[in-house]
Chains A and B, each alone.
Chain A
Amino acid sequence: MFRPVFADACSEPNVTMSVARTAKRLRLMVLIPTLILSAFGMLMIYSASSYSAELDYGDSLFYVKKQLLGFLPGLAAMYGIYKIKPEFLKKISPAALVISLALLAAVFIPGLGQTSYGATRWINLGFITFQPSEIAKFALMLFLARIYSTYPPVKLKYLLLPLSAVVAVLALIMLEPNMSITLSVAAAAFLLTFAAGLNKKYIFAVVALVAVLLPVLILSEPYRIRRMLAFLDPWANPRAEGYQLIQSYYALGSGGFFGVGLFNSRQKYLFLPFAESDFIFSVIGEELGVIGCIAVLAVYAVMIFAGIKIALANTDAFRRLAAFGITAVIAVQTLLNVAVVTGAVPPTGVPLPYVSAGGTSLIVFMCASAALMRLGKPD
């Protein structure tokens, strides 16, 4: 499907020029949205959290400062990643995956792992807390890209190694537990495998497997069943399971088409839980309206479009697949977050890439942007 269709055309100099210009434009289509979304994120974090931060920490800028502590190193990291040759990423990807798995396991070491809201997802190093799953999802993508570039998933035996890597990562994230990240990583891994040329009959097999496994995963945890039901009718239990979704609806509903204006959210006065992180899109909807939401989504669309174009422009299989994998993670997570906030899927905690409060998440996604840009730069 994604054959290097214009590999032969590169010999013509004028075509090379136009290719270089196109490539530059694509890189800007990744860079500018990254910067816009990160900066916009900090603005919205301020709006969504200034009240609760003032109450809880006595500093209305608490979350903004934390985010800035992710953003500034993120810029430096972007520069560093951009300078690294993709082949280096390919080389270190097995090591990166092993380290990621180790970190995911380290979450369960008492004293190192941090439990919040009933899940152990964070590693606390004292000066910084981060979620290993943020790193693991990109390490997994790079590792898969590396394997598929040599052994496309056309034969079952070629699938053994990548599949075990995917299962290992998913299992560890699932144990935290973190259903939403598990699902988004699974979806991204599937998209990448599909792009790498997965045999059609396997696609059906995977779809069938998901169809069977998903209900099992949901039914295995009572809180997931409650959330499922809450999603179908949040008003059945407005003070418990239905609460988050109802509050998100209230935010989007009171925003209407044009929104109530920047900083004017009423839902942020503690009504909307996680207003600065998982539900920041609700605040965007309340303050800037549906029109603002669509504008934000358009910015993501530009980046994702550029990511796919970059993937297609690469002749090297690893580069192509790496670009595709990174883009898939961004797209899947964005879609999942917006789907949760708008009640299109059952509520599950997943941050909005670049925008939601969360230092590690921001740095990792900025690095992902940089890697994508590098992959869009012809040697």
Chain B
Amino acid sequence: MLLIAFLFTAVVAKLVYVGIVNADNLRVKALEQWYRDVPLKAERGEILDRNGTVLAASETRYTLYARPVSIKNKQQAASILSEILELDYEKLYEKLNSRSSEITLKRGADKETMLRIVDSGTEGIYVSEDIVRVYPYGDFMTQVLGFTNTDTDGQTGIESYYNAYLKGNDGYVLTGADLVGRELEDGETYYVEGTRGADVYLSLDYHIQSIVENAVERAMLTHSAKAVAAIVMNCNTGEILALAESPSFDLNNVPRDDVQALLEAARPKIVSDVFEPGSTFKIITSALAIEAGLVNDKKSYYCSGSMSVDGQKIRCWRAIGHGSQTFAEGVKNSCNCVFMSAALELGAERFYEGISAFGLTKKTGIDMSGEGSGLIIPLASVKNVDLARIGFGQAVAVTPIGLLAASAAAINGGYKITPSLVAKIENESGILFSAGAGKGERILSESTSATLRAMLETVVLEGSGKNAAVEGIRVGGKTGTAQKYENGQIARGKYISTFIGFAPAEDPEYITLFMVDEPVGAYYGGVVAAPYVGEIYTNMFAYLQ
């Protein structure tokens, strides 16, 4: 009797411990399992151009589910649903009779379809809202904007880089449910509000982008090119006004079947890939030679059509040579011999120091994922023959954006800039981010920059860049015709034709890079790329006024 009384007391003691002493702790844990939380997707912020033109927006679409257990008349439900949703009646009927607790009827239905089904009074239908991404201009600014996955999480471009701002905070619906997540009939439901994502304003301009996209598309067709890319940037602030690449695709209909091809087309090659720049690199060599005081009007250089360095004969593009010329004439003629001499005069250390000061061996820091950085032979192992080649843009690899940023610094008075795509990010509570666009560290003197500008203007006025000339606007620039390498060998007949041009030449504001990859037929940058830069400036200045 005593024993039994003792045991009763013992179990009551344990009961009191569990049910009273430890109760709060247990209750909290129990609450977690009693509610099913369904996220309420926050509305994703918009992407707009600098003037507020919407480039990417969100629309609500609906996902329709059915819970077979709650549908009594399955035949009727199957016939109504298959008609409205254009589904196969037999398959749907079979699904409605399956043992699964929930089946997905349709994703991405529009509001009208959703309402028709709800109004049909079919039982056991559940609707969830989804937010889908819509790009009003389709195949436009494709690599810049990027796209999202089905959960509207950014995967490429701005959508990915600024995903944290764009996505907002999801809300939740907490619904009382049983062990397997079935909603309870009299279960309580709690809503936790989410917050809308912030809007991202680009520095890009819809109109300028249209002009550039247009030029890129035409260059693509005219030259049967493998790829064409162009970028327009404010050369004083680094703000990008347009960035277009072809081939591309419609952002509203992302071709996801071939992932490899999709990633290739979605990648902004202007930012991610390196190429051997060829003559456009002469802008950099010139700037460094002028800054080093190696250039004056009296000094003359002789081009016989080739030059011997360390016993190796390196050819100028003009087999018969340019004869005797000043440095400025060498720039205008794009004479390789002049730039070989300049590079050798600078010497490896000074030249490398300058290249590094221009940031060509590093990333520019543009606000885009996957930026590449330039490659150069290590200083310790660079030979004179390499140095001579680097002087005119061979034996060195840079990203197009890196080359453009360096060129901008060379002609803007000597200030480094950081290319940027986003101007500001804003939500209901205010501005979250504002690009501190402006000049960076000074790497060249104003006089060097001015001298270079004058030289580059003659390229357009009298030299290889004539096709970039614009009526009424002074344009300066440099052509480039780079050979392509395949597996370490020069690929015959494969070129990248480029032109870098800035305007107005007297006080530059804009700098543009235009690249045509593997044009068929003509391949000189001055013929293939320069005309499009001229055209872009013509239309752009017309729009700006």
Please report whether the interface of chain A is mostly helix, strand, loop or mixed according to DSSP. helix
Please report whether the interface of chain B is mostly helix, strand, loop or mixed according to DSSP. helix
**Minimum Cβ distance to chain A for residue B352 (Å):** 62
Select the stretch in A69-77, A253-261, A361-369 that faces chain B: A253-261
Which residues in chain B, 11-43, are within 8 Å of chain A measured between CB atoms?
Answer: 11-12, 14-20, 22-27, 29-31, 33-34
Whole-angstrom CA separation of A304 from B8 in the bound complex: 11
Nearest A residue to B32, CB-CB: A250
Given contacts A252-B26, A253-B27, contact A339 B18 (CB under 8 A): no
Nearest A residue to B26, CB-CB: A253
Given contacts A51-B178, A270-B180, contact A249 B18 (CB under 8 A): yes
| Residues of chain B within 8 A of A253, CB atoms compared | 18-19, 22-27, 29-30
A269 within 8 A of B: yes
Whole-angstrom CA separation of A339 from B10 in the bound complex: 9
**Minimum Cβ distance to chain B for residue A290 (Å):** 4
Q: Flag if A335 contacts B23 (CB, 8 Å).
A: no
| Residues of chain A within 8 A of B542, CB atoms compared | none
Whole-angstrom CA separation of A301 from B7 in the bound complex: 11
Q: Flag if B20 contacts A250 (CB, 8 Å).
A: no
| Residues of chain A within 8 A of B26, CB atoms compared | 249-250, 252-254
| Residues of chain B within 8 A of A359, CB atoms compared | none
A331 within 8 A of B: yes
A271 within 8 A of B: yes
Which residues in chain A, 283-309, are within 8 Å of chain B measured between CB atoms?
Answer: 285, 289-290, 293-294, 297, 301, 304, 308
**Minimum Cβ distance to chain A for residue B35 (Å):** 10
Whole-angstrom CA separation of A304 from B1 in the bound complex: 9
| Residues of chain A within 8 A of B115, CB atoms compared | none
Nearest A residue to B29, CB-CB: A250
| Residues of chain A within 8 A of B20, CB atoms compared | 256-257, 290
Q: Flag if A342 contacts B11 (CB, 8 Å).
A: yes
A203 within 8 A of B: no
Whole-angstrom CA separation of A255 from B31 in the bound complex: 12
Q: Flag if B16 contacts A290 (CB, 8 Å).
A: yes
| Residues of chain A within 8 A of B4, CB atoms compared | 304, 308, 331, 335
A356 within 8 A of B: no
Q: Flag if B11 contacts A339 (CB, 8 Å).
A: yes
Q: Flag if A250 contacts B15 (CB, 8 Å).
A: no
**Minimum Cβ distance to chain B for residue A296 (Å):** 11
A344 within 8 A of B: yes
Q: Flag if B30 contacts A269 (CB, 8 Å).
A: no
A338 within 8 A of B: yes
Q: Flag if A257 contacts B33 (CB, 8 Å).
A: no
Whole-angstrom CA separation of A300 from B182 in the bound complex: 37
The one of B10, B12, B16, B33 that contacts A250, using a Cβ cutoff of 8 Å: B33
| Residues of chain B within 8 A of A294, CB atoms compared | 12, 15
Q: Flag if A256 contacts B12 (CB, 8 Å).
A: no
B259 within 8 A of A: no
B380 within 8 A of A: no
Q: Flag if B178 contacts A293 (CB, 8 Å).
A: no
Given contacts A51-B178, A257-B20, A271-B178, contact A266 B30 (CB under 8 A): yes
| Residues of chain B within 8 A of A267, CB atoms compared | 30
Q: Flag if B178 contacts A270 (CB, 8 Å).
A: yes
| Residues of chain B within 8 A of A293, CB atoms compared | 15, 19
Which residues in chain A, 331-379, are within 8 Å of chain B measured between CB atoms?
Answer: 331, 335, 338-339, 342-344
| Residues of chain B within 8 A of A250, CB atoms compared | 26-27, 29-30, 33
**Minimum Cβ distance to chain A for residue B181 (Å):** 10
| Residues of chain A within 8 A of B31, CB atoms compared | 254
Whole-angstrom CA separation of A303 from B201 in the bound complex: 80
| Residues of chain A within 8 A of B30, CB atoms compared | 250-251, 253-254, 266-267
The one of B1, B11, B16, B180 that contacts A308, using a Cβ cutoff of 8 Å: B1
**Minimum Cβ distance to chain B for residue A339 (Å):** 5
Which residues in chain B, 149-188, are within 8 Å of chain A measured between CB atoms?
Answer: 176-180, 184
| Residues of chain B within 8 A of A304, CB atoms compared | 4
| Residues of chain B within 8 A of A331, CB atoms compared | 4
Q: Flag if A269 contacts B18 (CB, 8 Å).
A: no
Whole-angstrom CA separation of A300 from B64 in the bound complex: 54
| Residues of chain A within 8 A of B16, CB atoms compared | 290
| Residues of chain B within 8 A of A257, CB atoms compared | 19-20, 23
Given contacts A254-B30, A301-B8, contact A270 B15 (CB under 8 A): no
Q: Flag if B34 contacts A266 (CB, 8 Å).
A: yes
Which residues in chain A, 24-81, are within 8 Å of chain B measured between CB atoms?
Answer: 51
Nearest B residue to A304, CB-CB: B4
Whole-angstrom CA separation of A269 from B185 in the bound complex: 11
Which residues in chain B, 212-257, are within 8 Å of chain A measured between CB atoms?
Answer: none
Q: Flag if B179 contacts A252 (CB, 8 Å).
A: no
Nearest B residue to A268, CB-CB: B178
Q: Flag if A342 contacts B178 (CB, 8 Å).
A: no
Q: Flag if B18 contacts A289 (CB, 8 Å).
A: no
Q: Flag if A252 contacts B19 (CB, 8 Å).
A: yes
User: Which residues on A are within 8 Å of B, measured CB to CB?
Assistant: 51, 249-257, 266-267, 269-271, 285, 289-290, 293-294, 297, 301, 304, 308, 331, 335, 338-339, 342-344
- Could you jot down 11 A-B contacts, CB within 8 Å? A249-B22, A249-B26, A253-B18, A253-B25, A254-B23, A254-B31, A257-B23, A269-B179, A270-B178, A289-B19, A293-B19
Pairs of residues from A and B, 6 with the lowest C-beta to C-beta distance, nearest first: A253-B26, A270-B179, A250-B30, A269-B178, A290-B19, A344-B14
Taking A304-B4, A335-B11 as known contacts, 4 extra A-B pairs with beta carbons closer than 8 A to each other, sorted by chain A number, are A253-B19, A254-B27, A290-B19, A293-B15
